[in-house]
A and B are shown apart, each in its own frame.
Chain A
Amino acid sequence: MRRSLKRNQLRVNCVKVVFLLVFAIVGGRAFYLQVFQGDKLMRLGQRQHLKEWIVLPKRGALYDRANEPLALSLESQSVYVRPHRLRDAAEAKITLARILHLKAADVEHKLAANKPFVWLKRQVSPAEAEQIQALRLDGIGMYFEPTRYYPQGALAGQILGFVNRDSEGLEGIELQYNDYIRGAAGSSVSERDALGRRVLVEGVEGLQVPPGSDVQLTLDTSIQHLAEKELEAAVHKHRAKAGVAIVVDPATGEVLALANYPTFDPNKASQQSADQRRNRAVTDSFEPGSTFKTILAAAALEEGVVGKDDLFYCEMGKYNYAGRVIHDTHPQGWLPFAKILQVSSNIGFTKVAEKLKKERYFKYIDKFGFGRVTGIDVPGEVPGLLRKPESWAAIDLATHAFGQGISTTPMQMVMAYAAVANGGLLMRPYVTRKIISPQGQVLVENQPQIVRRVISEKTAKLLASMLRDVTTEGGTGVAAKVDGFDVAGKTGTAQKAEHGVYSKKRVGSFVGFVPAENPRLVSLVLIDEPEGNVYGGVVAAPAFKNIAQGALRRLAVAPREGAVFPTAPNPTEPSLPRLLKRPGVQLAAIKEDAVPDFHGLSMREALEKAQSLHITLKVQGNGYVIKQMPAPGERRSEDQVVVVNLQG
């Protein structure tokens, strides 16, 4: 027997006691955690496992009127890191920063985050994704996320708006119709793993998220492009701060183009300023200046207060009114009303306003839609500033007459002119034609919507002819004249008020419609804070001309008869039903019993003409009518069919 055995035995027993103690502690701890703390810990666990997990559906696409894509959804990969699982952060840092083109310090910061899950870089390029995949780093992974892509870049950026990384529309159409575009199924409760991914357990497997609906806009990509290009050129040329250009179909209220400068590229939304994002056409209001004289003219003509040829004395450029002196840029003597509009005499219009009186004047300002939103389907629209006549001081009647002391949005102004253009109807403007579900079902379809009749057709015609004179020799808007077409419109140059005092800053604008007789488009160009020559007729009218000229070509509008005009039309295909609904179309009188002449008309004009005369038209080809059967002047039968051949 060994000497030490006895002592050994004692010590082994000590160890036994220690082990027994440790066993008791471990077993007791297990009992405590699972029985006493079990409920609490389970709830804590559930809080992280069961979390409302937003399933991101694929957003619907945005198209222009010819189904040209303006916004698409793609699936891209985002790289995340689980810092707790990453072992060699120092080594990973360098590699990741290189592959993802990030700053090493930023990567380091994210890798060291005290969170179970951190996005490293979202929406990486396919090449980056491939390299990350090849790394096979523990703790670094990728996750598919839908990403929004705007194939036309900055084109119509402020109208389209943009989305955040959670596929939520934040501005523009993306926001306006977010519920449709985003998709119906928003969220579902399901189990998540630590990466926040849905875990397929207990019946949530089949959860399918239907994609969002597509939106077809009224915009015409080529007119939009033209408007943006011309606007930018004008803003640059006159070293201006900003600008707006709008093209609207006066008959329907469809917005064909809406350009803002500075431009905004929704692909880079986060890098661009709020200033760029703003859709100034609806969110900003300006003192209109002389373009507002048309409203007074319409009111005075409609109320029969003045006639086209009524004479007014323009006081040779200086007129004392209500304690103030009203000036004209070019002093005038006796002028007929039509001439007053053509030369834009402030004194003349003050006298017209005096005759009309403020209550009646205000009624028309209100009827034309000023002081309230147009109802256009883009977010952020403001009503402008319009004071009630009760609060007008004596001078206000005069200042309103030439567009001061009131502020209007460019969209309001365009729609007011559209009412003059289409025969007196104020239309609701819209940029969305229809919303189509993934199944092809039309969910929303915008129809032309008449807000109210503002003036009679007769007054509208008369005013249109007066406005046409503005762009003829001696008028303020000659620069807006389009070759081969009659343009009706009005220039405006407003002073900008700053802190309640008029500053040296100006807003120059031109708004008008073309062709004056049978308007196909209304357009406004507004140049904010130009330098040098600030007159609307100088800074805005030429841009109007260029936009109108290109848009007329695009719409395949034939120049007036006899005009020598080199056309290279690029006809669109307007849908037939929409054309037939077209209100306020004026047509030349045609002998009832003879086959009319369709030669030289565009498809659209030919269809309109045929419809108004109850003739069935068979159209062959595109462009302008070069041949028709039967020939014009032949006797027409009860249900006459005319075959026309078009060529562009």
Chain B
Amino acid sequence: MRDALAVDKWILLAVICLVAMGVVMVLSTSYLYSQERYADGTYFFRKQLFAMGGGVIALIVCSLIPSHQYRRFAYPLLALTLLALILVLIPGIGASRGGARRWIAVAGFAFQPSELAKLAIVVYLAHSIAKKESVIGTFTIGVLPHMIVTGLFAGVLLLEPDFGSALILTMLLYSMLFIGGVRLHHLLSTALLALPLLIYVMTKAEYRMRRLLSFMDPWSDASGSGFHVVQSLIAFGSGQLWGRGLGESRQKLFYLPEAHTDFVYSVIGEELGLLGALAVLTLFGVIIARGLRLTSRIEEPFDQYLAFGLTVLLGLQALIHMGVVMGLMPTKGLVLPFISYGGSAMLINLAEAGILLSLSRRRV
């Protein structure tokens, strides 16, 4: 039992706080929407509570598995995820909502394999980079295989389409290769080569292009393409220092799209003010700071890369979500880990936190 609790208390505490805050915010943001849609205000809330229960179990289980054991999961997890990602694309198996195929029915639940993909790639990269540590300086062995595998996953995600997750995978790849000691000119030249591809993907879909343009100047078309950004800014800003108070958001009354998922931080800003917004930011700061501290302290390569990858994964998602909400980045449609509504994300994010805790055992 003492062994079970010999983990990073700061990370555990931050995750608990975020999850607790999350379920409250899901209730606050989804109540009217689910009332309108299902004539049941607590429909989303109850689903989220259920996912949280599952997530807590996942966290405990993952934190109890000895960290070096995760190495074994690398390839099976990768294969399973790829299968799921391909299944999602097959009509009849993958469920389509609002024009994107992102869900797959597993035992009566709609599961989002893209959440699993992020974890699978982190575990795979940690394992592979650790294994190839001695030849990491070479391009063909140290860089190319990782790029091909991650690129394949990102490509499949783009087919859904899920541009946000594909972007996260790419950023994970580069940050982990960077930590793994890949030569900088390898990273830079591949990035330069990938740039035309990125531009092509960005401009191919008209809606992404519009998002990009509206991000530059959302107020030029506040009722049109800049609508989401403007509404989000209005929500976030009108919270001011102390916020309107929990449950008092006006913008969640259908002005904000997806107030309970992609724009939950906006409502946090509106209802809880600067203090609430900074509190959430600080909690993620704790996870990132402790995660990176852990990274520096671990000597085993796989464990080190895994801790780094998980920290970057959680931190990136949180910061991108916040950046989007505050108009710092084009709208992406990324959920805020531990807080936004969504069962798959809740389950996987808590599992990731569990793995991070396992990695921290007896190391802090």
Contacts and interface: CB of A to CB of B under 8 A. Distances in A.
A37 B237 contact: yes
Contacts of A31: 274
Interface stretch (B41-49, B71-79, B249-257): B249-257
Given A35-B241, A45-B238, A82-B254, A26 B179 contact: no
Nearest to B219: A44
Interface stretch (A16-24, A327-335, A495-503): A16-24
A563 interface: no
Q: Is the interface of B mostly helix, strand, loop or mixed?
A: helix
A12 B309 CA distance: 11
Interface in B321-335: 322-323, 326-328
A45 B178 contact: no
Interface stretch (A191-199, A249-257, A387-395): A191-199
B179 A30 contact: no
Nearest to A43: B238
A188 to B, nearest CB: 18
B292 A16 contact: yes
A23 B288 CA distance: 10
Given A30-B281, A34-B277, A41-B233, A114 B178 contact: no
B312 to A, nearest CB: 7
Given A29-B328, A87-B99, A48 B255 contact: yes
A49 B274 contact: no
Which among A19, A33, A84, A85 has the greatest number of chain B C-beta atoms within 10 A?
A33
Interface stretch (B84-92, B189-197, B296-304): B296-304
Contacts of A25: 328
B251 A35 contact: no
Given A33-B326, A114-B224, A194 B253 contact: yes
Contact of A15 (B175, B221, B255): B175
30 contacts: A1-B299, A7-B181, A9-B296, A11-B181, A14-B178, A15-B308, A15-B312, A19-B292, A23-B285, A26-B319, A27-B281, A29-B327, A30-B277, A37-B233, A38-B238, A38-B240, A41-B237, A42-B237, A42-B240, A44-B238, A45-B238, A48-B255, A49-B253, A88-B98, A115-B224, A116-B223, A138-B37, A191-B253, A192-B253, A193-B253
Interface of A: 1-2, 4-5, 7-9, 11-12, 14-16, 19, 22-23, 25-27, 29-31, 33-35, 37-42, 44-45, 48-49, 82, 84-85, 87-88, 114-116, 136, 138, 141, 191-195, 199
Interface in B191-249: 221, 223-225, 227-228, 233-241
Which among A9, A30, A41 has the greatest number of chain B C-beta atoms within 10 A?
A30
B1 to A, nearest CB: 32
B55 interface: no
A39 B99 CA distance: 37
Contacts of A4: 133, 136, 181
Contacts of A15: 175, 178-179, 292, 308, 312
A194 B295 contact: no
B101 to A, nearest CB: 11
Contacts of A33: 233, 236-237, 269, 326
A27 B319 CA distance: 10
Nearest to B280: A30
Contacts, number: 145
B238 A41 contact: yes
Q: Is the interface of A mostly helix, strand, loop or mixed?
A: helix
Contacts of A22: 319
B97 interface: yes
A29 B326 contact: yes
Contacts of B326: 26, 29-30, 33
Contact of A44 (B100, B234, B239, B253): B234
Contacts of A41: 233-234, 236-238
A31 B234 CA distance: 14
Contacts of A195: 254
For this complex, into which size category does the number of interface residues on chain B fall? 35 or more
A49 B133 CA distance: 58
Given A26-B328, A30-B281, 11 more contacts: A4-B136, A8-B180, A12-B292, A12-B308, A19-B288, A27-B278, A88-B98, A114-B221, A114-B225, A116-B223, A116-B255
B273 interface: yes
Interface string B262-298: 0000000100011001100100010010001001100
Contacts of B96: 88
A136 B98 CA distance: 12
A37 B36 CA distance: 32
A41 B234 CA distance: 5
Nearest to B285: A23
Contacts of A5: 299
Given A29-B326, A30-B277, A115-B223, A8 B237 contact: no
Interface in B23-76: 32, 36-37
B113 interface: no
A596 B148 CA distance: 117
Contact of B250 (A30, A40, A45, A136): A45
A138 B98 contact: yes
Nearest to B32: A193
B315 interface: yes
A114 B292 CA distance: 44
B281 A23 contact: yes
Contacts of B319: 22-23, 26
B216 to A, nearest CB: 16
B131 to A, nearest CB: 13
Contacts of B37: 136, 138
B311 to A, nearest CB: 9
B304 A8 contact: yes
B241 A38 contact: yes
A518 B292 CA distance: 108
Nearest to A38: B240
A49 B296 contact: no
